[in-house]
Structure 1
Amino acid sequence: MNPRIGCCTTLFFDLDGTLTDPREGITRCLQYSLERLGRPAPPQAELVQYIGPPLRWTFPRLLGTDDTTLVEAAIEHYRQRYATVGLFENELYAGIPELLGALHDTGLRLFVVTSKPTVYAERIVQHFDLTEYFEAVFGPHLDGRFDDKSELIAYILHERAIAPDRSVMIGDRASDITAGQANRTRTIAVTYGFGSIEELQTVGPDRICHSPSEIRQTLDGPPLTRCPAG
């Protein structure tokens, strides 16, 4: 292992907005679901803000209701399109295969840790030929278990006997960073996804990176220390 990375043994990568750009698929599926329910569908540009959080967080806000029956109906419509079409309206960010290959070759343990249900996340990782780089893909169950990413990371740390202080959570939304912090991992926020720089600075990640190549440079550099908020 590269001795400059030696302080970190495990990397947790978010999927949407960190490894892949799912903008087209997710926004179209949100529109489809709303239309099936007879609700007006905002333009794609307005729906980008909902990429990242679980659907059971998103639909109450889009529908303006806490009616669980209506929310579950919206999720069902969403998944009808997503499972067959939306899943593949997606593309890798430039430099991701090279980044993962280089990190994997150092002997680091790599995991996908996403708010997307595992059944879909695994298909996406396989579709983009990334399976060889990851030890496992973790996401929520379809019934909502582990929708809270903090709980998901806690489960992985325990299940795989991983030391939090030798792990790094890498993601594009504040929720990725706070989930890592809640479990005492180090954190890297990326700005090329869907979280604004203001959103990311507010939660105080250890580092902020603007490209996949910068993630590699950061992990090759000095040990991570928390960067200031604001």
Structure 2
Amino acid sequence: MITDSINAYHTIIQAVIIDLDGTMLDTAPDFLVAINRMRDEFALAAIELATIKQFVGKGSENLIERVLALDFSAEQITQHFDAAMASYQRHYLSINGDFSTLYPDVITGLQAMQASGLRLACVTNKPLAFALPLMEKKGLSAYFEVVYGGDSFSRKKPDPIALLQVCADFDLAPAKVLAIGDSSNDAQAARAAHCPVLLVPYGYNHGEAIQTVESDGIVASLLEAARLIRR
């Protein structure tokens, strides 16, 4: 259900900031393959997809720390972190996008937003070296004027720095820039930036129900979001 606040905002929305993992792409299978190949190099047992989904969304450093914490003490995590990160990045780059899929109505939603004259930016906590080739492979790149990754600034979402930079890039007040994501990171970053925010229910959100996250509403797809803005 969409709240009154987004109904008030949507008549002036001129741009949209969209998250990547869990919002446009189901990338958890890519993470799973890369992480388990890394774990194999450390003689650690493979982990399940459901576990990976709980760890996605706060950047690669957090992902590796949480994966290592399944087996290692804090001291051992520090000891092995750099090697584990290097292994993970090597494996991830070799399969980036091979196992991930677009969520339903992502392309049609982006097309509808463009047809409505909306400017589009992607803000993700994924490093740009991973995000840009992935978006190109999946046919997303052409829709976005701006793409910022988790290493584009000194802080990642839920910090609002990237969202505020998009507003500056587009020369728009935050109230005119809608954020769409799948997690509390996206909602908190949008609130801190004073942007309206919609959430999708099918992503990761660190293993927690998205309905518990404060937002301006939940939409079933990017296409539904585009129709809402157009109305």
Indicate conservation of the 8 Å contact 2:164/2:193, yes or no. yes
Select 1:147's aligned residue among 156, 169, 173: 156
Distance 1:34 1:136, change over 3 A: same
Select 2:88's aligned residue among 67, 78, 94: 78
Distance 1:69 1:160, change over 3 A: farther
Separation in 1, partners of 2:230, 2:115: 13
Of the structure 1 ranges 78-87 and 178-187, higher mean CA displacement relative to structure 2 is found in 78-87
1:94 lines up with 2:99 in the alignment: no
Separation in 2, partners of 1:207, 1:140: 25
Q: Partner residue of 1:48?
A: 53
Q: Partner residue of 2:29?
A: 24
User: 1:62 Cα deviation (Å)?
Assistant: 2.1
Q: Helix, strand or coil for the counterpart of 1:181?
A: helix
Q: Partner residue of 1:37?
A: 42
Indicate conservation of the 8 Å contact 1:34/1:41, yes or no. yes
Indicate conservation of the 8 Å contact 1:166/1:185, yes or no. yes
- Deviations for 1:116-149, whole angstroms, at most 9, x for unmatched residues? 111221112211222221112111228x844344
- Deviations for 1:172-195, whole angstroms, at most 9, x for unmatched residues? 111111111111111001002223
Structure-to-structure mapping, 1:42-191, within 5 angstroms: 42-64=47-69, 65=74, 67-68=77-78, 70-141=80-151, 145-150=154-159, 151-191=161-201
Q: Helix, strand or coil for the counterpart of 1:40?
A: coil
Select 1:13's aligned residue among 18, 26, 34: 18
- Larger relative contact order (CA 8 Å, sep ≥ 6): 2
Of the structure 1 ranges 8-17 and 82-91, higher mean CA displacement relative to structure 2 is found in 82-91
TM-score, normalised with respect to structure 1: 0.84
Separation in 2, partners of 1:211, 1:133: 17
- Deviations for 1:187-209, whole angstroms, at most 9, x for unmatched residues? 00100222389642333110111
**Larger helix fraction of residues:** 2
Separation in 1, partners of 2:139, 2:64: 31
List gaps (5 residues or longer) in structure 2.
1-8
Q: Helix, strand or coil for the counterpart of 1:137?
A: strand
Of the structure 1 ranges 64-73 and 105-114, higher mean CA displacement relative to structure 2 is found in 64-73
Matched to 1:32, the amino acid is R
Of the structure 1 ranges 161-170 and 183-192, higher mean CA displacement relative to structure 2 is found in 161-170
User: 1:167 Cα deviation (Å)?
Assistant: 0.9
Q: Helix, strand or coil for the counterpart of 1:73?
A: helix
Indicate conservation of the 8 Å contact 1:191/1:197, yes or no. no
Indicate conservation of the 8 Å contact 1:139/1:146, yes or no. no
List gaps (5 residues or longer) in structure 1.
222-230
